[in-house]
Amino acid sequence: MANIDARPGRIRPAPENFLTHEQIVAVKEGRRGFLRTAFVAASAAMAAPAVVQAAVQGDPAILELPSWSTTLGMPVAANPYGLPSRYERALQRRESPGLTRVGGSSVSFTPLQGLFGIITPSGLHFERHHQGWHDVDPARHRLMINGLVKTQAVFTMDDIMRLPSVSRIHFIECGANTGMEWGNVAVPTVQYSHGMLSCSEFTGVPLKEILDMCGADYKKGRYVLAEGADGSSMTRTIPMELIESGEVLVAYGMNGEMLRPENGYPLRLVVPGVQGVSWVKWLRRIEVGDQPWASKDEAVHYIDLMPDGQHRQYSSIQECKSVITTPSGGQLLLDKGFYNISGLAWSGRGKVTRVDVSTDGGINWRQARLETPVLSKASTRFNIDWVWDGKPAILQSRAVDDSGYVQPGYGQLRAARGTRSIYHNNAIQSWKVVESGEVSNVQVL
């Protein structure tokens, strides 16, 4: 069993076979001196001095009152903007070494291995910038609507924030999430394999309301260009059908506060179900047109290479996918016994209807519990009980959405798309557990 970080608070039983049958008989006969000697030796071997006392009296965390129970605490507003506990520093956005060479055109990944529920804390929302990020002055930010509209218009943030708003919970996933794993295992943890996924409550105005105001030509104008105000002025083509559905938002709020600068402050597009690159940040312009634009990020990047040498262009939907976030790669199980296998499932086509979990590499499956809320185009948390018997195991999850689509395995995905696609890898993820309790990233077909 993994012994490098003993779990605090446990009063450890003596190791199995610590006392032989003869010794037990001796103890019963009252030869306690022998027991004392043997106990001291065993404690030293465990290298956990607290245990000595623990076995005798109890847990020092209970017996010795800590400073927070015996001294005065901090006043209110000591942190005017609250921060996580200093004990939570391990959970940070991190770059994957060697993935990119320029921080301004890079990715930082959300630490999914340590998160609960479905909402991503705003400070841990993954980042993808194309030419660096700025803290944009909201008083100088404008949204322009032009192209096939009766009235080309300009809106200030004051204007947009006066309009009736809606708040909706949606996942956002980069099209390249899990992209490093198309050909083989490349990264150790779920942070790097699936951490270009976040889920937030977004507040804003349906873009359709604004296009209605401007008198958009919905007959001719079946495509919409969204453009950012950053150096790259990132552009993507959005289908008018999605905007007409009322789902696409011009959003300024995220998880109850304004968007963070790294996530597009003060205004971004929210395109539920569609890959993150279309959720244009620092949104400055919407143009209605009769053709797609073939912008750099839909003609050079974010195109999926198929085995026949063709690239799929304008691939946008994030298909149904799931991953177990704990236990997951790079983690250690400390002991045999009960565990709560927990993970996330999501679909760009609608609601997740079920998630099945396998602990034997996909031979047998059990249906997991979906925790509420279960929302369309939002992350859904699933949990399932598991008693680990200490033997090797391979953990997998498989999600199904309300279109009937079942998350595919690597074999199926590679048969259809080869291994060079980079984008839209939604294969079933496998985590291998070995006797030592170590969990690692593997692929099974």
Partner 1 sequence: MSRFSKTLMALLLAGVTTSAIAFERYKGIGRVATEAEVAAWDIDVRPDFKGLPKGSGTVDDGIELWETHCTSCHGSFGESNEVFTPIVGGTSADDIKTGHVKSLISGSSPQRTTLMKVATVSTLFDYIQRAMPWTAPKSLKPDEVYAILAYLLNLADIVPADFVLSDANIREVQERMPNRNGMTTDHGMWPGVAAAKAGMGNGGKPDVSNVACMKDCKKEVEIVSALPDYAQDAHGNLAEQNRLVGQTRGKRTSAPGEPAEQGEPSVAAAALALANAKGCMACHGVASKLVGPGYNEIAQKYQAQADAEEMLVAKVKLGGQGNWGAIPMPPQAHVADEDIRLLVQWVLQGAKAQ
Nearest distance, CB of residue 49 and partner 1, angstroms: 19
The Cα 421–Cα 130 span in angstroms is: 20
The alpha carbon dihedral of 292, 294, 297, 298 has a sign of positive
Shortest distance, position 170 Cβ to partner 1, whole Å? 14
- Nearer to partner 1 by Cβ, of 19 and 295: the residue is 295
- The residues in 249-268 that bind partner 1, with binding defined as CB under 8 A, are none
How near is the Cβ of 227 to partner 1 at its closest, in Å?
7
Residue 369 main-chain phi, psi, to 5 deg: -85, 130
Q: Answer yes or no: are the C-beta atoms of 357 and 341 closer than 8 Å.
A: yes
- Both structure tokens of 78: 């000591």
Shortest distance, position 123 Cβ to partner 1, whole Å:
16
Token pair of 79, please? 């942190």
CB atoms within 10 A of CB 404: 9
Complex with partner 1: residue 119 or 332, whichever CB lies closer = 332
4, 47, 56, 74: which one binds partner 1 (CB under 8 A): 4
Interface residue with partner 1 among 41, 44, 420, 435 (CB under 8 A) is 420
Q: Is 369 helix (H, G, I), strand (E, B) or coil?
A: strand
Helix (H, G, I), strand (E, B) or coil at 418: coil
Q: Which is nearer to partner 1, 39 or 314 (CB)?
A: 314
Q: Is residue 60 near partner 1 by the rule CB under 8 A?
A: no
Q: What is the C-alpha to C-alpha distance for residues 412 and 425, in angstroms, rounded to an integer? A: 11
SS3 94: strand
Q: How far is CA 243 from CA 78, 104, 135, 172, 263, in A?
A: 44, 30, 28, 17, 21
Long-range contacts of 420-423 (CB under 8 A, 24+ apart): 420/182, 420/183, 420/305, 420/307, 421/179, 421/182, 421/304, 421/305, 421/306, 422/176, 422/179, 422/182, 422/304, 422/305, 423/175, 423/176, 423/179, 423/275, 423/302, 423/303, 423/304, 423/315
Site for partner 1 in 306-325 (CB under 8 A): 306, 308-317, 319
Cβ atoms within 10 Å of 73's Cβ, excluding its own = 7
- Is the CB of 39 or the CB of 301 nearer to partner 1? 301
Residue 350 phi, psi dihedral angles, 5° rounding = 160, -135
Which residue stretch of 59-67, 117-125, 368-376, 424-432 sits at the interface with partner 1 (rule: CB under 8 A)? 424-432
Among 43, 177, 191, 322, binds partner 1 (CB under 8 A): 191
18 vs 418, beta carbon nearer partner 1: 418
Q: Of the two residues 57 and 313, which places its CB atom closer to partner 1 in the complex?
A: 313
To partner 1, the closest distance from the beta carbon of 279 in angstroms equals 13
Q: Please report whether residue 111 would count as binding partner 1 according to CB under 8 A.
A: yes
Residues 271-300 that bind partner 1 (CB under 8 A): 273-274, 284-285, 287, 289, 291-296, 299-300
Q: Kindly identify the residues of this chain, within the stretch 131-190, that bind partner 1 according to CB under 8 A.
A: 131-132, 139, 144-147, 151-155, 158-159, 162-163, 184-189
**Smallest separation (angstroms) from partner 1 to the CB of 220:** 11
Q: Determine if 65 is a binding residue for partner 1 (CB under 8 A).
A: no
Shortest CB 25 distance to partner 1, Å: 38
Count, residues near partner 1 per rule CB under 8 A: 138
Strands 366-367 and 352-358: antiparallel
Does residue number 356 form part of the binding site for partner 1 (CB under 8 A)? Answer: yes
Which of the residues 392 through 411 are near partner 1 (CB under 8 A)?
394, 398, 400, 405-410
